[in-house]
Amino acid sequence: MSDSYLSKLLEQAERELEKDAFLGRIEWDTKRWLDYPGFHLSTRFMQFLDLVSRHPGNKRIKNIPTSGANSMVKASTLAAIGGVDPSNGLGAGADVNVGRRIKYARGADTTPIGYNHVAWLETNGDRAFNYYAYGESVVAMWSDFSRKGYKGRKEQGVSDLGGRNYYEGMKFSKSKPGPNIPKLKLDQQGSFVPEDLERDWHDIVARFEYQINSGVWVYFKDDFELWQRALNFTFGNVRPPRWEIQDGQVKITEAGQIWLKQQLKSFAAKNSQEILYQRGGHRV
């Protein structure tokens, strides 16, 4: 986590007295990034989707939820909303439920939850990695949640995602992970083989394009302006373009693939995640 983590959250609460809760930045299992660069890309893109949701532009309502991984809620607010709804039927966990109850209490057109970029921490990424490894969308990693808790923590295989359509009407399930999305290979001991940027580049690109397309559809449906914002955050708004949309699907161009591979090689050469945390202080 970042240094002075609690102080950074409390200082924001003192500055923004009108806010009821705060979401801190969440990093997803960065220790896996060097061995699985496609997982690195997938979780980073999910963060860009969250970024666009917080800043959608054109007078759209900002979407800042609460998350059990990194949130702070004022005790007075928690008491005012009656805590967590014991009959929660939203299909979400108690952490998300708290944020939704706050928003319902304040009104749909309000933004009662703030965001803190510098109060960051790293959360367990097993669930996200399991979905990535088996050709599933990482943004769907909570979709097998039930009142009895999470059902998909098995290292071998991914549980059925409840029939929810996350990718152009295609059902995510253990038997049908996606449109020809390659899974990670297993060695003789049953462990996932690390991805190699040269040997596995075609598969890495295919997995990442799938994460992009499933992600923008889940977050923004057919709002292509928000697709563009998320893609420009990821690839930059440059010429020649690094991405394009063909028949409603995002494709990474040749220029984009060259740039993307170089970014990953540069990251691996530095052998350090510190560059990702400069705005948030030092690791502690």
Residue 270: which of 38, 34, 35 has the closest Cα? 34
Give me the mean pLDDT over the 113-133 stretch.
94
* Element holding 114 (H helix, E strand): strand 113-123
Per-residue pLDDT at 179: 62
Q: C-alpha angle 88/90/91, rounded to 5°?
A: 105
Separation between Cα atoms, residue 18 and residue 87, nearest integer Å: 28
Residue partners of 153: CB distance under 8 A and separation at least 6? 126, 127, 130
Name which residue leads in pLDDT, 109 or 257.
257
**Mean of pLDDT over the chain:** 83
The C-alpha torsion from 260 through 249 and 214 to 52, rounded to 10°, is 70
- 137-165: average pLDDT: 51
Q: What pairs with residue 245 in β-bridges?
A: 250
pTM above 0.85, yes or no: no
Model confidence at 172, in pLDDT bands (50, 70, 90)? very low
Query: Could you tell me the two tokens for 244?
Result: 């394009």
Least confident of 15-29, 160-174, 227-241: 160-174
Using an 8 Å Cβ cutoff, are 116 and 24 in contact?
Answer: yes
What does the DSSP assignment read for 70-112?
SEEE-HHHHHHTTSS-TT--SSS-HHHHHHHHHHHHH-TT---
H/E run at residue 220: helix 201-220
